[in-house]
């Protein structure tokens, strides 16, 4: 038989397996096998946290739907039509939010299981950036934002999954619009650097505190939970964006800079991922 123990040494988790053995002399001994299980424990912890977060995210809209539906049922005939309409609007919005959460979870699940393939084909990077600019222009103007587009000349075609890359671009630009107070300034720039193309989105919005920056690409991580939920966010957008960019062997990160707001930079290899 053997004895098993787990010990924490600094930030590492070590599993110790100890078994006695006899030497030919009178002296016995103990053989110790040490496994570094830090990564496994970290993964288990993230999984537990993820399940708890999913439960919490779904419970919030469910609670709202139930309480508004109960109020409508209990006060049937007595509630003014305008109030009734507002209550039904809340129920619809909350059910929409649940649908978005479930769709995002399915997307992540497909990535995790390797079933979500990226469909690679050449596409015009410049056109893609322009399409995003045009798609969000009205929403930006509705918030009084100044939206600026600045592209380098002669951007090359890139090999990638156009729809997925557009999804990443849309997520980053939408976040800037959402988290910049009305009347802000948002700048979309794009260019080429060696064998990579890049896009940057810079805003003068609420920004992200230093301590939160390393975690913003984690699943369900939110800096301002109340505001994010209010705006319909699922807390999964940036983690999906990172997953897509990783699949393209590119990078997405925050650019260190001073001043208000945020700059997010995405880089992609022009020739697409090398492993596909």
Same domain for 206 and 109: no
Q: Where are the alpha helices (DSSP H) in the chain?
A: 38-74, 81-113, 125-142, 162-178, 225-230, 237-247
What whole-number distance in Å separates Cα of residue 36 and Cα of residue 174? Answer: 42
Between residues 145 and 215, which one has the greater pLDDT? 145
Residue identified by tokens 């053995």 is: 21
Residue 228 has pLDDT above 60, yes or no: no
Same domain for 70 and 18: no
Proportion of the chain above pLDDT 90, given as a percent: 35
Hey, what are 154's tokens? 């002669």
Between residues 110 and 263, which one has the greater pLDDT? 263
| Structural domain containing residue 29 | 3-36
β-strand 196-203 against 157-160: which pairing, if any? Answer: unpaired
Between residues 178 and 112, which one has the greater pLDDT? 178
Which three-class secondary structure state does DSSP give residue 255? Answer: coil
Hey, what are 23's tokens? 């030497």
Residue 146: what are its φ and ψ, rounded to 5°?
Answer: -95, 120
Cα 248 to Cα 131, 153, 157, 217, 276: the distances in Å are: 20, 23, 15, 16, 9
Same domain for 93 and 215: no
Proportion of the chain above pLDDT 70, given as a percent: 91
Of 66-80, 144-158, 179-193, the poorest mean pLDDT is in: 66-80
Q: What pLDDT was estimated at residue 230?
A: 53
Residues in the chain, overall count: 276
Q: What torsion, rounded to 10 degrees, do the Cα atoms 105, 52, 248, 119 define?
A: -20
Hey, what are 139's tokens? 């929403």
Same domain for 17 and 57: no
Cβ atoms < 10 Å from Cβ of 196: 16
Same domain for 164 and 151: yes
Which three-class secondary structure state does DSSP give residue 77? Answer: coil
| pLDDT tens, residue by residue, 27-76 | 678 888 888 888 888 878 777 877 777 777 788 788 889 998 999 898 88
CATH number at residue 86: 1.10.287.130
Q: What pLDDT was estimated at residue 183?
A: 94
Residue 168: what are its φ and ψ, rounded to 5°?
Answer: -65, -50
Residue 231 has pLDDT above 70, yes or no: no
Same domain for 143 and 72: no
Q: What pLDDT was estimated at residue 48?
A: 80
Q: What pLDDT was estimated at residue 187?
A: 96
Q: How far is CA 17 from the centre of its chain?
A: 39
3-state helix, strand, coil in the chain (%, to 5): 45, 25, 30
Cα 146 to Cα 70, 72, 181, 188: the distances in Å are: 43, 42, 12, 11
Chain-wide mean pLDDT for the chain? 84
Q: What pLDDT was estimated at residue 225?
A: 54
Residue 274 located in a structural domain: no
Same domain for 140 and 246: yes
Q: Is 214 exposed, middle or buried (0-12, 13-18, 19+ CB in 10 A)?
A: exposed
β-strand 146-151 against 185-193: which pairing, if any? Answer: parallel
Q: What pLDDT was estimated at residue 275?
A: 62
Same domain for 212 and 255: yes
Q: What torsion, rounded to 10 degrees, do the Cα atoms 268, 254, 101, 168 define?
A: -20
| pLDDT tens, residue by residue, 156-177 | 999 999 999 999 999 899 989 9
Residue 275 located in a structural domain: no
Residue 229 located in a structural domain: yes
Same domain for 107 and 48: yes
Q: How far is CA 227 from the centre of its chain?
A: 16
Residue 241 has pLDDT above 80, yes or no: yes
Q: What is the mean pLDDT of residues 189-208?
A: 92
User: What's the pTM?
Assistant: 0.70
CATH number at residue 186: 3.30.565.10
- Four-residue CA torsion sign, 177, 181, 185, 189: negative
Cα 275 to Cα 23, 130, 239: the distances in Å are: 51, 29, 22
């Amino acid at each position: 038989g053997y004895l098993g123990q787990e010990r924490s040494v600094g930030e590492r988790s070590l599993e110790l397996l100890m078994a006695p053995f006899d030497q030919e002399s009178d002296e016995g001994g103990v053989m110790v096998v040490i496994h570094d299980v830090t990564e496994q424990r970290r993964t288990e912890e993230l999984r537990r946290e993820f399940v708890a977060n999913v439960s919490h995210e779904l419970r919030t809209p469910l609670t709202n739907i139930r309480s508004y539906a109960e109020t409508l049922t209990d006060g049937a005939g007595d509630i003014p039509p305008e109030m009734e309409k507002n209550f039904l609007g809340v129920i619809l919005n909350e059910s929409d939010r649940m649908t978005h959460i479930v769709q995002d979870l399915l997307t992540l699940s497909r990535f995790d299981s390797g079933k979500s393939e990226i469909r690679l084909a050449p596409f015009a990077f410049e056109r893609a950036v322009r399409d995003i600019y045009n798609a969000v222009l009205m929403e930006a103007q509705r918030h009084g934002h100044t939206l600026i587009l600045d592209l380098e000349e002669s951007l090359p075609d890139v090999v990638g999954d156009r729809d997925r890359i557009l999804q990443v671009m849309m997520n980053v630009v939408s976040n800037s619009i959402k988290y910049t107070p009305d009347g802000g300034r948002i700048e979309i720039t794009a260019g080429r650097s060696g064998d990579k193309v890049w896009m940057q989105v810079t805003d003068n919005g609420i920004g992200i505190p230093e301590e939160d920056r390393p975690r913003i690409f984690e699943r369900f991580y939110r800096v301002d939970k109340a505001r994010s939920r209010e705006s319909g966010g699922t807390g999964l957008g940036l983690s999906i964006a990172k997953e897509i960019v990783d699949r393209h062997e590119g990078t997405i990160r925050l650019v260190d800079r001073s001043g208000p707001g945020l700059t997010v930079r995405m880089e992609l290899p022009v020739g697409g991922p090398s492993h596909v």
